[in-house]
Each structure stands twice: as structure tokens, then as C-alpha cells.
Amino acid sequence: MNRKRKTKIIIYFIFIFLLVITISGIFLPEKLLEADFKSKNLKPSLSHLFGTDWMGRDMFFRTLKGLSISILIGLLASSISAVIAGIIGVMSGTLPKWVDNTVLFLIDLFMGIPHILLLILISFATGRGIKGIIIGVSITHWTGLARVIRAETLQIKNEFYIKTAKNFGKSNLYIMRHHIMPHIIPQFIVGLILLFPHAILHEASITFLGFGLSPEDPAIGIILSESMKYLSSGMWWLAFFPGLSLVFVVILFDKLGENIKRLMDPYSSQE
């Protein structure tokens, strides 16, 4: 079995696993998330895999619901951010020099401010909640991918067929749509997937700090924030399993992006 086939198997497995988590969390019956004071503060067991909290809520189902919320928010926010990065990166590489200078200034400006601080400010200014997180992540996570797409665009711009198209009188917009954008699709797809882990982690971070989702939502950030009050009493499972599950999902998204990048590389995929 060559590397290409192994990479495809890994991609299929990760994709299906993440899809199952997302769908299971979306369609999880509300009854499984309800409080049961007869079963509160139970340690992990076969009947409650992640234990129960101080209200008797099953932590496995709360974690599953929280992960699905984080994945959906991460998918939407990173998709918007990737589209912004793609448009700005291509514009920077094809339009006049002053546009490129403006884009580079904006990239340096956004990258000069700590992500978490900028996220908190944007989320607070837009009313917090899901809307605030999506807007915040979308606005703050486009810079890295925009740099990659800009560099790729500048490289393609110097190719012979681009100069030939200009000699035939084709406009920058025509060249952008028909000659440059089809070539940056692989970088765009890989960059989009690699944005997911950052979006999910930052969503959990600002929710943990109280600037994200509302307390009634079973998000991972809310779960971890609430569990801090009970760790000193020995209820370690309230933070351990949700935190470990979040890290595991983030690693899976990162591995998914790496393997798709490897699959798109014509040299490494055939080894």
C-alpha cells in the first residue's frame, strides 16, 4: 500500500469520525441533557462514561453536544475567514501596487494584535453569543492564509501564459478569474481546513472567559468554566474529559489538513 492510499484511508476515517460527532450532537435528544439530582457527582463508570456533574447531568452527552456546537461554529467562522483571505490574497497579488501595500498594512496590523484580545473586543462589541464569535473569528483569522495566497498569486503572475494573456488585452479581472483562482484552489482548501482548529480553540477560549456563548449553552468553554469551581472538591472528571475531547478534535482537524495537503502534493502522495 503506497502513501497515497494510506493518506486517503486516514482522511476518510477522520472525516467520518468528525461527521458522526457533529451529527450525534445536533440530533441529541434534550432529555439526555436534563438534570437528574439523584445521580449528581458520580465518577466515570459504564453507565456514565464521563461521570455526572453537580446537577446530575451526564458529562458524556454534554461534551458531545458541546463538541458539535464548537465544530459547527468553527466550520462557519473558518469558511468565512478563508473566503476573506482568498479574495484579499488574490486582489493583493493582481491589482496595482497600492492595493498590495494596503493589504500588507492590514495583515501586519491584525497580526500585531493578540488574537484573543481582538476576539474578545469584537465579540463584546457585536453582542457576544454565536454571532459575536463567528464575526470575531472570521475577522481575525484570515491573515495567515491571505499571505500564502498572495505569495502564490505573485508567483503565478510571472508565468509566461499570464504575460501572454495581458498581451492579448485581457483585463486583471479576467486573468484573476480564469488563470489565477483555479491554481490557488489547493492552497485555499488546505488553508481552510487548517483554520478549523484555531477557530474551535478560540471559540472555547473566549467562551471560557465569559465573552462567548451564553451560560445555558452546553459549549465546551462553558463546561470547562463551570468545572473550575468543583475541581478543588475532587471532581476532576468535569474538566478532564471535556478538555481532552476538545484537544482530540482539534488534533483530528489538524491531521485532516496535513493529510489533504500531502494528498494534493504530486510528489509525496506517490511515495
User: Hey, what's the cell of 233?
Assistant: 472538591
- Exposure string of 136-173, with b = 16+ CB inside 10 Å and e = fewer, is bbbbbbbbbbbbbbbebbeebbeeeebeebeeeeeeee
Whose grid coordinates read 493578540?
A: 114
Provide the pLDDT for residue 19: 92
User: Hey, what's the cell of 249?
Assistant: 478534535
CATH superfamily of 69-245: MetI-like (1.10.3720.10)
- Residue 191: CB atoms within 10 A of its CB come to 25
Amino acid at 163: K
Is residue 149 a contact partner of residue 81, using CB atoms and an 8 Å limit? no
Spatial CB neighbours of 196, under 8 Å, sequence gap ≥ 6:
71, 74, 75, 78, 253, 257
Return averaged pLDDT per consecutive 10 residues of the chain, 271 residues in all. 78 91 89 85 88 88 90 88 88 82 87 81 80 84 87 81 77 76 82 84 81 76 85 86 90 86 64 53
Provide the pLDDT for residue 1: 56
Provide the pLDDT for residue 179: 76
| Spatial distance between the Cα atoms of 207 and 228, rounded to a whole number of angstroms | 14
Provide the pLDDT for residue 121: 85
3-state secondary structure of 127: coil
| Spatial distance between the Cα atoms of 26 and 70, rounded to a whole number of angstroms | 11
| Residue 53: closest CA among 271, 265, 240, 262 | 240
Global pTM reads 0.82
Provide the pLDDT for residue 175: 77
Provide the pLDDT for residue 13: 92
